[in-house]
Amino acid sequence: MKSTAILLTEFSREWHALDRSTRSELEARHLHPLVAKYADRLTVRFLNSLGFDARFSHMAIIEAADLKDYYFFIEELRDSRLLADGHLVINRIILGYEDGYPQFDEETAAKGAAA
């Protein structure tokens, strides 16, 4: 069953004070390799939301067939310089299963028929 996590994040003032080339270099060094490492198991998209909601500035939408892969990705992200140095803060995580109730109905009906 595919799960989707939406991470509501914000970058620090110190991050925004860095020039764009420095920010790009930090992303290229610490974020892009991590996303590439999990590319065969996760779909990761990044969205800028600064102009639309004051509670967060960016979102990451992560889709995974196995929550273990998602969790391991998050652990490595936590260890990255972006989070460890306080540049990026994850404010909220919203998690959902795609078509969870139809799968529940199907599996519970199959178990009921087998009993």
Domain residue spans in the chain?
A: 3-114
pTM, full prediction: 0.85
DSSP string of 63-82? EESSHHHHHHHHHHHHHSHH
More reliable by pLDDT, 60 or 115: 60
- The terminus-to-terminus CA distance of the chain in angstroms comes to 24
**Cα distance between residue 6 and residue 54, in whole Å:** 17
Asked if 80 and 34 touch (Cβ cutoff 8 Å), the reply is: yes
Sequence-distant (6+) residues with CB within 8 A of 7 are 59, 60, 61, 62, 90, 92, 93
- pLDDT of 88: 95
The two three-digit tokens of residue 9, written as one number: 């994040």
Band of residue 115 on the pLDDT scale cut at 50, 70, 90: low
How many other C-beta atoms can be found within 10 angstroms of the C-beta atom of residue 30?
19
Band of residue 102 on the pLDDT scale cut at 50, 70, 90: confident
- pLDDT of 112: 73
Amino acid at 78: R
* Residues present in the chain in total: 115
Q: How is domain 3-114 classified at the architecture level of CATH?
A: 2-Layer Sandwich (3.30)
The two three-digit tokens of residue 52, written as one number: 């639309």
21-71 tens-digit pLDDT: 999 999 999 999 999 999 999 999 999 998 898 889 999 999 999 999 999
For 58-72, 79-93, 96-110, which range has the lowest pLDDT when averaged over its residues?
A: 96-110
For 9-18, 55-64, 95-104, which range has the lowest pLDDT when averaged over its residues?
A: 95-104
Band of residue 74 on the pLDDT scale cut at 50, 70, 90: very high
Amino acid at 23: R
